[in-house]
Structure 1
Amino acid sequence: MITFLLAAAVGHVGFNLVHPIDIVEAAPVYFGEVLNDDNASCQLSREGRTGSGCIGTDAQLGLLTLSAKDHSNVNVIVHSIENNHFKFEPLLADGEQSQQFTVFSGNLNIDIGGKITVITKPNNGDYKLEYIIEVNYD
């Protein structure tokens, strides 16, 4: 004769639903005119532009608008992009590619600068690159 013993229990799970993070690029990073020469680079920050490739034209920091749960901490990471002709290293206000922010009143504006480097000379003209912005609750 075979005897089976069976035991069962009820488990519980808890969670807190929070406002999803929403991020919008309110303004793109714009370097203005950059010298088309191998290894020329231009860095843009709140202090202005520096580097061998910066030519004296208007430039603009990028602006991200973030909405998230009030009084929450978020980690923002911006990722570099590189192709055959250019390398773009986006930088946050602290000069790094990752930074923690606290969201007050549900909204946060984040300045984005960075460094653009011409790896090999392409044709002169306007160019646009795309990069990844990652935001997570801490």
Structure 2
Amino acid sequence: MLQCCDNLGPTSTHKDATLHEGASTQLQLANFKVFRIKEIRHKIKRWRLHLRSDMELEELVTFVNPIVRGWINYYGRFYPSRLVRSLRQVDEYLIRWARQKYKRPRTSLRRTLRWLRGVKRHSPILFAYSSWTHTALPAR
């Protein structure tokens, strides 16, 4: 029996399993496909956070946090390592946002990175995913 979710959820499969006493049961296993990760990253890209320089950081965070919390609750249980890679993309867009919003970070990527780390250190509950990711230099 195959069942699929619409909200970027994994396809779940019911499989027969034998317990250690010899009894059998059905387990529901999540098949976390690679295209689901691509959909998450595409959704983050469609937010276009780096182009919202008219918004403040708190406004961006209130927009992003409920969605990211849902992903953490849902995907974090099955494949946290794949989810962390997608959540780092939010950091990359926030770095790009800060470089467009403020003058000082424009000149230095490291200064912007230091700023984001400082914001996360100063108020760790601001970002729903801050305990999941460590801000690193974006890959180029």
State the TM-score, normalized to the length of structure 2.
0.26
More strand by share: 1
State the TM-score, normalized to the length of structure 1.
0.26
Q: Which has the higher contact order (CA 8 A, sep 6+)?
A: 1
